[in-house]
Amino acid sequence: MGYEGLTDLAENYPAASREALMALSTGYQRRNEGEVLELAALAADLSGRHILSLFGEPEPDRQVMEAFRLQYPHVELDSLAGRSEESIEGLVNGVKGKYFEVLVRDRLNAGETVGELRLEAGQGARLALKSNEPGWDLELWAAMARSWSSFSSRPTRT
């Protein structure tokens, strides 16, 4: 049951109980928002230093490496060797969004909750194969039903 369900349920209870249910629903909403904001903060913190460290570390961050390769499949990492952080800032901004998608996918596939979304047994998440896929970034699938649902992590205006 999500935030709206808890809020609707609270309207059917006496005032004292309603306050407790409203507090529960508010806490639930904040926890969900916090999970998404945590992932967004990790992605926003990505810098040129992180990208350049992919060269020097014996075991570079797998998720950052994957995000770079998905976002820029035609850019060889070796071509960035010796460049300054400032000279690759444009690339970094593109990798941040893809890194967020990789983090969301991995958390969902690990059985964790992201916002109000949690996958059930037999379900999985995968990223779009192209970084410029129109309309969606992440697909959720159910192995038994062979059905897919597509989601976008791109910002939208309401």
Residue 69 lies in a domain: no
Report the pLDDT value the prediction gives residue 77, as an integer from 0 to 100.
80
What range defines the domain where residue 19 resides? 1-45
Structure-token match 């992201």, residue found: 114
Residue 59 lies in a domain: no
Residue 26 lies in a domain: yes
pTM: predicted TM-score of the whole model, two decimal places = 0.69
Report the pLDDT value the prediction gives residue 102, as an integer from 0 to 100.
93
> What confidence tier does 153 reach under pLDDT thresholds 50, 70, 90?
low
Q: What is the mean pLDDT of the chain?
A: 77
Residue 127 lies in a domain: no
Residue 153 lies in a domain: no
Residue 54 lies in a domain: no
Concatenated DSSP letters of 63-121:
HHHHHHHHH-TTS-GGGGTT--TGGGHHHHHHHHHHHHHHHHHHHHHTT--BTTB-PPT
Q: Which two tokens stand for residue 16?
A: 């004292």
Average pLDDT over residues 89-103: 89
Residue 36 lies in a domain: yes
Residue 18 lies in a domain: yes
Does residue 156 have a pLDDT over 60? no
Q: Which two tokens stand for residue 98?
A: 């893809």
Does residue 20 have a pLDDT over 80? no
Tell me how many helices (H) and strands (E) the chain has.
5, 3
Average pLDDT over residues 65-77: 88
Cβ neighbours of 101 (radius 10 Å): 25
Q: Per the structure, how many domains does the chain have?
A: 1
